[in-house]
């Protein structure tokens, strides 16, 4: 049976991952409305990844004999000034998620829950990739801000991204 403190923090993380998914789906909708289907595609894939992350925690908690407790997802933003603001918020959000993942690692070590610590290391590594990806796109959109041709080139590149469930690799 899983420790109640660990069960609680994992349930909180499931909610955070689902909120992240909802945020990225909202961003996808906004980007689609801006006639940027490639950017919208990138965010839609982020939505799929965050949902997969939530399910990895969900399945882990069930496997350890814990109880999954789904709670309401808080409202997410629906409007942004421009693509730069979208990716500034994306990077900021990924850094928040990284902090949450680190808190799980810290608690797992404190509680001597080696299984949770080990499972969570996948997320620690994943967050390095998530932050780097968001930061790279942010830097690119800052470089071309106000220049439609550059934004369209990035949009076309992001349209090529396809979903591969990272939790299954």
Structural domains in the chain (count): 1
* Number of Cβ atoms within 10 Å of the Cβ of 72: 8
Residue 167's pLDDT is 82
0.85 exceeded by pTM: yes
The span from the CA of 91 to the CA of 81, in Å, is 16
Residue 88's domain is classified under what CATH number?
A: 1.20.1260.10
When the pLDDT of each residue in the chain is averaged and rounded to a whole number, the result is: 94
Query: What pLDDT does residue 153 have?
Result: 79
What domain range includes position 107? 4-168
pLDDT at residue 13, as a whole number: 98
Question: Quick one: pLDDT at residue 146?
Answer: 64
Low-confidence ranges of the chain (pLDDT < 70): 146-147, 169
If you write DSSP's letter for every residue of 42-68 in order, what string do you get?
A: HHHHHHHHHHHHHHHHHHHHHHTT---
Q: 89, 77 in Cβ contact below 8 A?
A: yes
Q: What is the pLDDT of residues 115-143, one digit of tens each?
A: 999 999 999 999 999 999 999 999 999 98
Of residues 129, 151, 130, the one with CA closest to residue 142: 151
């Amino acid at each position: 049976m899983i420790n109640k403190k660990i069960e609680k923090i994992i349930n909180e993380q499931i909610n955070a991952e689902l909120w992240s998914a909802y945020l990225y789906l909202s961003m996808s909708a906004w980007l689609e409305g801006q006639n940027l289907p490639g950017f919208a595609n990138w965010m839609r894939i982020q939505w799929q990844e965050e949902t997969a992350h939530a399910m990895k925690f969900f399945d882990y908690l069930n496997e350890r004999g814990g109880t999954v407790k789904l709670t309401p997802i808080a409202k997410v933003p629906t409007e942004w000034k421009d693509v730069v603001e979208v990716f500034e918020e994306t990077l900021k959000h990924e850094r928040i998620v990284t902090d949450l993942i680190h808190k799980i690692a810290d608690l797992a070590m404190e509680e001597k829950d080696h299984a949770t610590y080990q499972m969570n290391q996948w997320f620690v590594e994943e967050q390095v990739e998530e932050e780097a990806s968001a930061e790279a796109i942010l830097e690119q959109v800052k470089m071309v801000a106000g220049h439609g041709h550059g934004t369209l080139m990035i949009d076309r590149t992001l349209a090529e991204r396809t979903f591969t469930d990272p939790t299954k690799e």
